[in-house]
Amino acid sequence: MQSLIAAALDVLVFVVLAWCVWRGLGRSIPIAVIPIVIGLVMAATGVGSLGLPSALGDDIGWVGVLLLAFTAGMETRQEAHLPAQTGTASNANAGRLRFLTSAAVALLLPFCVGTAAAHFYFTRLPGWDAPRGGEWLGSVAIGLCLAVSALPVLIGIVRELGPLHRRLSQMALGIAVIDDAVLWVGLALVLLVADNGSLLDGVSAEQLAALLLLVVLATAATLVKRLQLLPPRWLVWAILPVFLGAGAWSTSQLGLHALLGAYFAGAMVPQAWARQVPVERIGQVALVALAPLFFGHSGLKIDGDVLGWASLQASVALLVLAVVAKLAAVRLYPPAPGLHRRDALAVGALLQCKGLMEIVAATILRDKGLLSEHAFAALVTLAVLSTLLTGPAFRWLVRERAVESPGREMA
């Protein structure tokens, strides 16, 4: 009975209260941020006598974040998020190449800046050195978190912006899709390096089965695409949990993280199957009703002693680095030729949103000992601040652009 009361209180604080605050603020703040803030406030004030987090709440939140990772993987396969290319085939190919190059610059510049700053400054702060992996691997972990763009939250923000700025928002989504996929691959590589880069040293039967299962999933998805097999909708609903469970179990057995498997399993789902189910609605249910427990607990589990003025200063410094690097990257190599300076900066403002993906990535890296508690707290705070700034920064840039255009026309 006591565990059920704790679980009910968990849901009341991190789901119901967060939803009420979100609606009370007119949905001006992404809902994913609110439970994190609640958890951070509770951790900072030392509230620990309420029986939170509950074991059942942990399980529910974990299912929610697995679903978020799974649907994020499915959404990377949706062509609607990629910019349409018009004109001849050569022009279309050139436009796509430019877009991919812009996405690479938008990822690599913040990653390099973040890694260098972490190595030469942040990891030398008291309590910032990673428990394992050494200086450089811990710095690379911070660099990855600074480079990420939050695809699920960004999709929600773009939906709120409406059709007026669809061209710019679709550019940002297309780049975020690419960056998101690269992030998960990068996370897998970092975890492999942390484990000395070998999965096959003393491989167990479970690890071998996990490798084979991933191969079977990828092969089955490829065959389905080639043969254009389209099972009835009820069967797709039955198969998707198998993909999710198999992917999450496989990567956890391989010493990586279950969320990596959930994401890659979602990316393996054939596009024709993904169209049979409401991917967006599933992600929304996970985001509003389940995952808030995970994110609230992530904030709540942060050591309250590491939260303070020094942590906030580090978060702001990291935020400035991340924002400036992302804006500079998009300004340096815009995703489309002839893109106005403010339009390019508006795309960069959307891409600097960290949201869920940074928190998930930071959680994985902390669980594997590649981030200290101080670094984790600063990165979670950074994710909150960057997500809060995304909408206002974008609206300010496009508003200034709108004011600037008539003046130019009259001149």
DSSP codes, 212-223:
HHHHHHHHHHHH
Give the span between the Cα atoms of 148 and 146, in whole angstroms: 6
pLDDT confidence of residue 411: 37
Mean pLDDT of all residues in 143-151: 83
Q: What is the 3-state secondary structure (H, E, C) of 181-229?
A: HHHHHHHHHHHHHHCCCCCCCCCCHHHHHHHHHHHHHHHHHHHHHHHCC
pLDDT confidence of residue 159: 61
Which candidate, 379, 260, 359, 369, places its Cα nearest to that of 314?
379
- Provide the token pair at 287: 């985001």
The pLDDT > 70 percentage for the chain reads 83
Mean pLDDT of all residues in 90-103: 75
Mean pLDDT of all residues in 12-26: 89
**pLDDT of 276-324, one tens digit each?**
898 888 888 888 888 888 888 877 877 766 777 777 888 899 999 999 9
Which candidate, 410, 354, 408, places its Cα nearest to that of 384?
354
20 confidence band (pLDDT: 50, 70, 90) = very high
Mean pLDDT of the chain: 80
pLDDT of 407 strictly over 60: no
Asked if 119 and 375 touch (Cβ cutoff 8 Å), the reply is no
pLDDT confidence of residue 50: 66
**pLDDT of 156-199, one tens digit each?**
666 666 566 777 877 887 787 777 778 878 888 888 888 765 55
pLDDT confidence of residue 80: 40
pLDDT confidence of residue 401: 60
Which candidate, 79, 41, 65, 57, places its Cα nearest to that of 9?
57
The residue with greater pLDDT, 41 or 402, is 41
pLDDT confidence of residue 245: 93
Give the span between the Cα atoms of 196 and 190, in whole angstroms: 10
pLDDT confidence of residue 402: 56
Mean pLDDT of all residues in 91-97: 68
pLDDT of 367 strictly over 50: yes
The CATH class, in words, for 2-410 is mainly alpha
- Provide the token pair at 390: 């995304």
pLDDT of 78 strictly over 60: no
CA dihedral 28, 181, 129, 35 (to 10 degrees): 30
**pLDDT of 318-350, one tens digit each?**
999 999 999 999 999 888 888 888 888 888 888
pLDDT of 360 strictly over 60: yes
pLDDT confidence of residue 84: 47
- Residue 17's CB is within 10 A of a number of other CB atoms, namely 16
pLDDT of 66 strictly over 60: yes
Asked if 81 and 309 touch (Cβ cutoff 8 Å), the reply is no
pLDDT confidence of residue 311: 78
Give the span between the Cα atoms of 33 and 7, in whole angstroms: 21
Cis peptide upstream of residue 53 (ω within 30 degrees of 0) = yes
- Provide the token pair at 209: 């089965």
75 confidence band (pLDDT: 50, 70, 90) = confident
The residue with greater pLDDT, 407 or 314, is 314
Domain ranges of the chain: 2-410
pLDDT confidence of residue 302: 74
409 confidence band (pLDDT: 50, 70, 90) = very low
Mean pLDDT of all residues in 380-409: 73
